[in-house]
Amino acid sequence: MPETLSLHSPGAELTDLIRRVSVARRVVVVTGAGISVNCGIPDFRSSTGLFQQIRAAHGDLVTSGRDLFDASVVFRSAETADVFYHWMTHLRRQCAGAQPGAVHRFIRQLADRGTLLRSYTQNIDGLERKAGLSVWDPYSAKGDAEHVPWQTAQSVPLHGTMEHLSCQLCSSSYHFSEQPNKSAIRAGDECPDCQTRSQVREACGRRSLATGKLRPTVVLYEEPHPHCEDIAKIISHDARALGTRRSKQPQDVVLVFGTTLKVPGCRQLVRKLATASPETTLTVFVNNEPVCGKSWDGIVDYQVIGNVEDWCARVERKWGVQTKITQWAKTRKSGASVASASSSKAKPKAVVTEKENRPVAVAASNEASSNHLATKKRKSSNCSDSSTGVRGSEATVKRKRQRSSTPSTPPPVAEPLLPIRRSLRIATQQNHVYCHSPVSICL
């Protein structure tokens, strides 16, 4: 028997389950009539549901409200068919005036987060489309704006919708208008296409044809599903997608909301999705009443008793905490990167280029050339003194005076850098003397 938890007595196990659902990689949602009750649409099997309302109003025609949704009973007589059309029109007006609830918005958030693989619904109210989900509709043509291929559809109505009317004879489809005006096409009206074909034949002198009646495009009990092959293909695709998982963390999740799992097709759907990859798929059933017994052992992992909207609110709060933590981590990471960038700008590396080192080398060369010129002048002065007959003592005294007046400072030495021998040609403008001196320069 699946492990049963209660939303009214939270514990560590329930908290961990909510955490695992909130970080799921892919989610498949299966919903029933229970998620639309708070939207103003009655369910079917409860004490105040649609079956009980029909039985109280038409107990002389049907023994159970379910009979009015049984194809073998509804179209048995014109009277029961008229009652069926009346209730379908009433239900269509309720669906048109209803707005999506908390569970529908929760499914939309799953789609916005990119984790929703598919949403399967047994409901015929069409609130998934109002919530912003793309809905697969087999009755919409490819050129229509509402047409969505099944590969990209986010929601699949298992039992049809109330948005279209279909002819029981020629299968022509029309929009099911909720407005009670005379020009609108209503449930139980004769098919316009059948009428046109019959009138054309009568104009040609041929016998008239039978005319079918329009009924909502919903699937009743005891009738074959007109699009069962298409839905089976979608289910098989999603089951294979769940079965390709190899890593156990994070898990794929199958959520079942607001249904009693009494419809055979829905039971088969949940079984196929849950058993596609039992090791990597977590199946959670949430309902006001316990439904899963021993027959679901090994298929449903957890059965949570409580309001579905409360469950969705707790998962959304967990999403909010995770989002705040993620934003804090991103902010901290960006702040650290900005600090490192500013520190690198405050302390640039000391890089000496050729242009920066060139003045030092040129200054050294100029100093060396000036010393060389001074020495040459002294020699020339000695020669001139000796030629004019000046005594050696007087010449010596004069040279000593010149040496004392000229400070002997050593030339500056360039910093030890990468040696690249390069010959500089330096000209002194005063004496027009060129000196060739090897100097070490770093590029």
In angstroms, what CA-CA distances link 91 with 127, 150, 225, 242?
A: 13, 27, 21, 36
Residue 134 backbone phi and psi in degrees, to 5: -80, 125
Under 8 Å between Cβ of 261 and 267: yes
3-class DSSP assignment, residue 251: coil
- Nearest Cα residue to 118 out of 314, 272, 250: 272
159 is catalytic: yes
The residue annotated as part of the active site, out of 8, 86, 104, 159, is: 159
Q: Is 169 left (phi over 0), alpha (psi -120 to 50) or beta?
A: alpha
Under 8 Å between Cβ of 188 and 85: yes
> CA angle, corner 230, sides to 273 and 72, nearest 5?
95
Distance CA 400, CA 410 (A): 19
Residue 287 backbone phi and psi in degrees, to 5: -160, 160
| Cα four-point dihedral sign 138, 142, 146, 149 | positive
Token representation of residue 429? 């403008």
- Nearest Cα residue to 57 out of 92, 89, 84: 84
Active-site annotation, residues: 159
